[in-house]
A and B are shown apart, each in its own frame.
Chain A
Amino acid sequence: MLSENKNTTINHVPGHVKHDGHNMTGFIIFLCSESIIFFAFFVGYGILKVTAPVWYPEGIDGIAVKEPLINTIILVSSSFVIYFAEKSLHKKNLWGFRGIWFITMLMGSYFVYGQYIEWSELSFSLQSGVFGGMFYLLTGFHGLHVITGILLMGLMLYRSFLPNNYKGGEMGVESVSLFWHFVDVIWIILFVLIYLWQ
């Protein structure tokens, strides 16, 4: 058998490869790792909530659920909206993609706005005991991820106007969409922990 391909190197595979496939693998690995930071915070929250002698800061016996619930519904549904944006890109409907993608961005921005309103109306601060610190740490860290997601979406929207940019792979769009689902799932856990488990 060896003698057969002595003079040919046809079995040898070209060494220069494009990295599209790697990018997605790498991004998924990164997200798994990123989720561990949140997981650490969640575990910390749970342990402190169960063991801390004083949980809520003085003068507070709970936290309003209604407005955050509306916020949650907006964020969770944006995860469905972004799916349709991705789908229209797969169907080569570029304007459909841009439109639905932009709606997702608006929903994300509304969420950040809602978060801002909630923060500005609260009567406790970062320094108000364990709960104060945990509340701002978790919502703030998650909020940073939402803002990152919106900025990334803006970048993808800009890239859709570059000629022929989305003809080949939609790796960037797929990654951002995956990131958005990730941010969404994290929020659901966070909502259950902070708002529902009182």
Chain B
Amino acid sequence: MTIINYDQRLVKSKNPYPKGPNDWKRFFSFNTDAKVIGIQYIVTALFFLLLGGLLGMLVRGELITPPSDLFDPTVYNGLYTMHGTVMLFLFLFPMLSGLTNLLVPPMIGAPDMAFPKLNALAFWLVPVFSIILLLSFFVPGGPASSGWWSYPPISIQNPLGKMINGEMLWITAISLSGISSIMGAVNFVTTIIRMRAPGMGFFKMPIFIWTVLAAQLLQLLGLPALTGGAIMLFFDLTFGTSFFRIEGGGDPVLFQHFFWFYSHPAVYVMVLPVFGIFSELFPVYARKPLFGYKFVAVASFGITILSLVVWVHHMFYTGTPMWMRNLFMFTTMLIAVPTGVKVFAWIATLWGGNLRLSTPMLFCLGGLFNFIFGGITGVMLATVPVDIHVGNTYFVVAHFHYIIFNTIAFGIFAGIYHWFPKFTGRMFYEGLGKVHFALTFVGATLNWLPLHWAGLLGMPRRVASYDPEFAIWNVIASIGAFILGVASIPFILNMVSSWVRGKSAPPNPWKAIGLEWLLPSPPPHENFEDDIPTVLNEPYCYGLDKPFVQDEQFYIEKSFKKH
């Protein structure tokens, strides 16, 4: 047995974190406990999921008929811009930060994040930039209307000539969101590198931790490029510089490079933790070890590295030279290799397993199914001739939503259900969960599957009116969108009622392996407190005679004691 030689500075200090109030009020205070911050993030994000969903349904409401009749086309432009922005920056990023905050410290056996105050600060920036973004609905000229990518020259037109306009507020909000994400990323990476339990080498970390590390490194390397581009865009808009203005000698395509250098990896920042959730959940609900643990772990970093050199595939039709198109087509297709490794590993994990089809598993299976579909359309889009044909049509919209909602949001729901008993101490209602899954799966499929056809036939995106020949696909899609809206009702009902009066949860309701499952539900303030376990194996040895931690029995008994 190895004795871990701990740094001399790791001495016990008295009351390292000030404890906040212990009732519901702690969720409304500047609390530095990662578990409180995690729930703050998740609840905030779910609120914005509803708002973003409402905006999305308004967009689909407009598109249910070919002419532009529900809204003025200008209003429509603002609606889809804000729908995209709210969903990405106010729902997905905060949601994943929340799950990461909840899961990382218990999973690696740390008492809290490395920088608790920075963590709280990063969270409290979310309401600040959310309010700034939403205020833009009330300024003259309305909110930003140039799409979530905000390409110049449209984004720097500023037709009313006002200093404070929707676009300016948009850039400010996005930059603040970037600052918040960088604070989070510094925190997560430091925590994972320095605060793992003794014995937890890199190749004994849960896959979720691997994917978070890969995603947050990507955040650190990519996000500043967008910040740089956003600063220059802000100067062009507000101070009359001409970085991206053709008439002043600037280059609008340069902004696209800045934007996509981050915003393509951003998709991986979001999807990697979801891959982590898949890798955590499949072994639990199939009762089998994760197939090819080391390959799945390393593949996360393969994705990180490759995703930094693929961004031009978003610009195949914006006048990129041929050599660039070929190069980026090649690198983009290479990404299918590490992703494929993961998909095969999950399928091999499921193969012959003793599947338990509870709500989290259903969301995982649905997400995996959709991801394979969205991945195939992704490879189609990476092909230059196909992309030039369908670029800026609904095919891209359909592919994008298959990844961003049908995979990422599915994975997020799976994660929420799976860890709900752990962090609230209550079981959720399985029946309502299954209703939620069924409505979500049907709604999402009806919403985005038909749009592939509309896109292949040439229906352009971001236009309020369209040719009547596309009407049938749009009617089905809109019905799907409204079903998705209805799907939020059983979810909210389930979460609220289970948390208030659900059955109290045992420490390990799913018989899962993992440090977080050796803790009481909900875990105490500093997780393992003074008894951090020594990890012996990776947490996927289902059915194998390999102990997970030293003295496992001690921790299991302890986890049943009330704190």
Query: Do B534 and A11 touch across chains, with their CB atoms under 8 A apart?
Result: yes
CB distance from B318 to the nearest CB of A (A): 15
- The 0/1 profile, CB within 8 Å of B marked 1, for residues 1-40 of chain A is 1100110010111111111111101100110111111111
A34–B222 Cα distance when bound, in Å, is 11
Docked-complex contact B251 and A12, CB < 8 angstroms: no
- Residues of chain B with a CB closer than 8 A to A9's CB: 530-531, 554
- Closest beta carbon of chain B to A63's beta carbon, Å: 17
Asked if B12 and A16 sit within 8 Å, CB to CB, the answer is yes
B114 near A52 with CB under 8 A, answer no
Interface positions of B from 236 to 258, Cβ below 8 Å from A? 239-243, 248-251, 254, 258
* Inter-chain contact A127/B240, CB cutoff 8 Å: yes
A47: interface (CB < 8 Å): yes
Min distance, Cβ A17 to any Cβ of chain B, angstroms:
5
Is B405 part of the contact surface with A, judged by Cβ < 8 Å?
A: no
Report B67-111 CB contacts with A as 1/0, cut-off 8 Å.
Answer: 000000000000000000000000000000000000000000001
Q: Which of B483-540 contact A (CB under 8 A)?
A: 526-534
The reply to whether the CB of B163 lies closer than 8 angstroms to some CB of chain A is no
Chain B positions within 8 Å of A33 at CB level: 182, 185-186, 220-221, 223-224
How distant is B31 from chain A, measured CB to nearest CB, in Å? 18
B-side contacts of A22, CB under 8 Å = 114-115, 190-191, 194-195
Asked whether any CB of chain B lies closer than 8 Å to the CB of A149, the reply is no
B147 interface hit (Cβ, 8 Å): no
- Is A134 an interface position by the 8 A CB rule? yes
Chain A residue at minimal CB-CB distance from B550: A11
B241 and A137 within 8 A (CB) = yes
Contacts of A12 in B (CB 8 A): 528, 530-534
Q: B251 near A51 (CB under 8 angstroms)?
A: yes
Q: Which residue of B lies closest to A5 (CB)?
A: B551
A interface residue count range (under 10 / 10 to 19 / 20 to 34 / 35 or more): 35 or more
> Does the CB pair B239–A126 fall under 8 Å?
yes
Q: Please, which residues of chain B bring their CB within 8 A of the CB of A62?
A: none
Q: How many A-B residue pairs have CB under 8 A?
A: 173
Asked whether any CB of chain A lies closer than 8 Å to the CB of B6, the reply is yes
Question: With A16-B111, A22-B115, A26-B114 as given contacts, are A6 and B232 in contact (CB-CB < 8 Å)?
Answer: no
* Cβ–Cβ < 8 Å partners of B533 in chain A: 12
A165 to chain B, nearest CB (A): 17
- Are B186 and A34 touching (Cβ within 8 A)? no
Interface presence of A96 (CB below 8 A): no
Min CB distance, B106 to chain A, in Å? 12
Residue-by-residue, is B190-203 near A (CB-CB < 8 Å gives 1, otherwise 0)?
A: 11011101100000
Q: Cβ of B222: which chain A residues have Cβ within 8 Å of it?
A: 36
Contact at A36–B221, with CB atoms within 8 Å?
yes
- By a CB distance below 8 angstroms, the chain B residues around A37 are 224-225, 227-228, 231
Within the complex, what minimum Cβ distance (angstroms) separates B538 from chain A? Answer: 19
* Complex Cα gap A9–B550 (Å): 11
Q: Which residues of A contact B6 (CB under 8 A)?
A: 13
A18 with B11: CB separation less than 8 A? yes
Pair B251/A52 contact, Cβ less than 8 Å: yes
* Chain A residues in 8 Å Cβ range of B189: 29
Closest residue of chain B to A30 (Cβ to Cβ) is B186
Cα A16 to Cα B112 with chains together (Å): 9
Contacts of B317 on A, CB cut-off 8 Å? none
Contacts of B10 in A (CB 8 A): 13-14, 17-18
Q: Does A132 contact B (CB under 8 A)?
A: yes
Pick 27 A–B contacts, CB within 8 A, sort by A: A1-B1, A2-B550, A9-B531, A11-B1, A11-B534, A12-B532, A16-B111, A18-B10, A18-B13, A19-B115, A21-B9, A22-B191, A26-B115, A26-B186, A32-B220, A33-B182, A33-B224, A37-B225, A41-B228, A44-B232, A48-B250, A48-B251, A53-B249, A54-B249, A127-B241, A132-B241, A133-B242
Chain B interface residues (CB < 8 Å from chain A): 1, 3-4, 6-7, 9-13, 16, 111, 114-115, 118, 182, 185-187, 189-191, 193-195, 197-198, 220-225, 227-229, 231-232, 235, 239-243, 248-251, 254, 258, 261, 526-534, 550-551, 554
9 A-B pairs with least C-beta separation: A40-B228, A133-B241, A36-B224, A37-B224, A12-B531, A22-B114, A33-B220, A26-B190, A40-B225
